[in-house]
Amino acid sequence: MGRARSAVAVRASQEALRAALIETMNVELVETTACEDFDAAIDYCRPRSEELGGEEGSEAWYIWSVGDWAVAGDLSMQLVSDSDAMATLSKSLGEVVATGIDSYFEYAYFSYAKDGELRRLLILEDEELVDEGFPVKAESGQHLDDFSEEEAERLWTSYGLPTFEYDPSGGPFECIAVKKS
């Protein structure tokens, strides 16, 4: 699966996603820059994320477009650390799909929110499964006992979003550094 990361996707503009994330995650914008490729986005985000050695309370995200989706990603899995935030995002942005994968720790996360309501939540952590809400269309005929990093990615890609198997090739990326309020 490559490196650990999480992502949130909405059918809105990158600007709308950025503004909604800043408000929902209760952070303050510190700086923003444009990166032409994913490697440059990684180089920007890594030293600005507390979980990866950055300053206390710091976080960095990269935002780009995939078809009619705006996608925000991070390397420290903070975007999916609060499932209720996905429901809050969906109040203003509509449909929200989120996924997090960390193969090293056997962690998998998938959520789907719409109209201010978290409709699906699957989390595999420490060999325990959280299963809440109603299955999404791509789960039809699948066994929940089999939820894994691969299954989280399969659900994510069922929305036409790019695989986590490879680094995103489409750019440019808007990279933003934020600070927890």
Q: pLDDT tens digits for 10-66?
A: 999 999 999 999 999 999 999 999 999 999 999 999 999 999 899 999 999 999 999
Domain ranges of the chain: 5-180
* 68 contacts 181 by C-beta, under 8 angstroms: no
pTM, full prediction: 0.92
Q: Which amino acid is at 56?
A: E
Answer yes or no: are the C-beta atoms of 10 and 19 closer than 8 Å. no
**DSSP H or E stretch at residue 15:** helix 14-24
- Residue-wise pLDDT for 51-63, tens only, equals 989 999 999 999 9
Phi and psi at residue 28, to the nearest 5°:
-115, 135
Q: Is 173 helix (H, G, I), strand (E, B) or coil?
A: strand
